Structure 1
Amino acid sequence: MLEVTGLEAAYGESRVLFGIDLHVAAGEVVTLMGRNGMGKTTTVHSIFGLLRPRAGRVAINGVDLTGASPHRIARAGLGLVPEGRQIFPTLSVEENLIATARGNGPWDLAAIWALFPRLRDRRRNMGDQLSGGEQQMLAIGRALMTNPSLMVLDEATEGLAPLIRAEIWACLGRIRDQGAAILVIDKNVDAMARLADRHVVIEKGRVVWSGTSADLLGDARVKENWLQV
């Protein structure tokens, strides 16, 4: 589904990524983990064409889309829930969702209302009238309305209350159960171990560890050395 090989990226003369290898198969949930400032968001931006890679390859369903424009990446089947949510503050909840609707697929307004009943109740509210948790639900719903084959979430539950985090994780489980592949950045190791199939840890722009959930929970070095848990 997604194949990232040898990905290198920089901001000006400051190199950030040094040969990232990452893949997500159809229907699979993979986490990208690491401490702050280690290159996770830069990896996402490079995949989505928001930052042009210096080297390496990004392929979607076997098609090389390295450095392609964000709209080409979206049309290829990737949906992004960006860090900071970035919803449209002066559009209503329903307008936010309709604005990104694309293609014939399982995700339409009725499906989003079923997944997030709270959004249905607030569908006439403006984006800036929502709580942080509701905005994150809206950002997820907006990405789903593109009917992606792979959804990428950058800091899926950052800054949210524990009950809201648990609700978001449960919704991601339901999205997974409907067959969508997911690449998720999140700091909550135990929750991610329950949700995901595999995990990739990066440190200073390099992959330093990868493995299954059982591997992650069974290897104390991962938390101690690279996740500060």
Structure 2
Amino acid sequence: MLEVTGLTASYGSSRVLFGLDFAVGAGEVATLLGRNGMGKTTSVRCLMGLLRPTGGSIRFEGAELVGSPPHRAARAGLGLVPEGRQIFPNLTVEENLIATARAGHWSLDRVRQLFPVLAERRAALGTQLSGGEQQMLAIGRALMTNPKLLILDEATEGLAPLIRAEIWRVLGELKASGQAILVIDKNLDALLPLADRHTLIEKGQVAWSGSSAELAADAALQDRYLGV
């Protein structure tokens, strides 16, 4: 579904990505892992057209996305849950959900079934929600675009353990339904049983890629690229 090859990117004269390669298949859950500052969010910004790569290719269902504006990436079927949630603070929960909605499998009723708290808080403004509620809203908003590939950038960061567990439960349900997902997160214990493949990034390059079984079996690899 998604094929990224030789991706390079910079902020001004500062080079961040150095020929990155990774892929996500239809119905697959894949990850981008690495310490802070290694290029994960920059990769997501390139996928979504928020940052123009300096080289390489981003092909989604065979169509090249490099150089495309964000709205084209969204129309192609990429749905983003951005780092920091970035919900619309002065819109209600329901207005947030329908603001960028497209017709398809995901509707208001289905999102409310997935996150019942959003039904209870449907008239609340974004500023009136807790961090966990905002994160559920950000995921629901992305699902309302009916994406072919759902991208989550640090969706559990800073959340209470019970809320994190709820997010992982939802991602498990989405995977079971056949939703393709790309996850950037630090919670390896939750990612190993969920993801089909992992890509570890070190200083803007692929340091390792492989399956959950391979990553789980290599403690030295985890410590080298993911340890504090």
For this structure pair, what is the TM-score category when the shorter chain's length is used for normalisation?
over 0.9
**How large is the RMSD of aligned CA atoms in angstroms?**
0.7
Aligned residues: 228
Counterpart in the other structure of 1:188: 187
- For residues 87-102 of structure 1, the aligned pairs below 5 Å read 87-102=87-102
Counterpart in the other structure of 2:114: 115
Counterpart in the other structure of 1:127: 126
**Which structure 2 segments of 5+ residues have no match?**
none
**Which structure 1 segments of 5+ residues have no match?**
none
- For residues 138-217 of structure 1, the aligned pairs below 5 Å read 138-217=137-216
Counterpart in the other structure of 1:57: 57
1:67-95 deviations in Å (ceiling 9; x for gaps): 21000000000000000000000000000
Identity, % of aligned positions: 68
1:81-124 deviations in Å (ceiling 9; x for gaps): 00000000000000000101113x21000000000001111001
Counterpart in the other structure of 2:31: 31
Counterpart in the other structure of 1:219: 218
Deviation at 1:184? 0.4
Give the distance between the partners of 1:146 and 1:178, measured in 2 at CA: 16
The list of structure 1 runs, each at least 4 consecutive aligned residues, that deviate by more than 6 angstroms after superposition, is none
- Conservation of the 8 A alpha-carbon contact between 1:7 and 1:55: yes
**TM-score w.r.t. structure 1 length?**
0.98
1:138-192 deviations in Å (ceiling 9; x for gaps): 0000000000000000001000011110100000111111111000001011100
Give the distance between the partners of 1:102 and 1:161, measured in 2 at CA: 31
Give the distance between the partners of 1:157 and 1:63, measured in 2 at CA: 31
Work out whether 1:72 is the aligned partner of 2:58: no
Deviation at 1:65? 1.2
Give the distance between the partners of 1:110 and 1:222, measured in 2 at CA: 43
Match of 1:175, SS state, is helix
Q: 1:7 is aligned with what amino acid?
A: L
**TM-score w.r.t. structure 2 length?**
0.99
Deviation at 1:222? 2.0
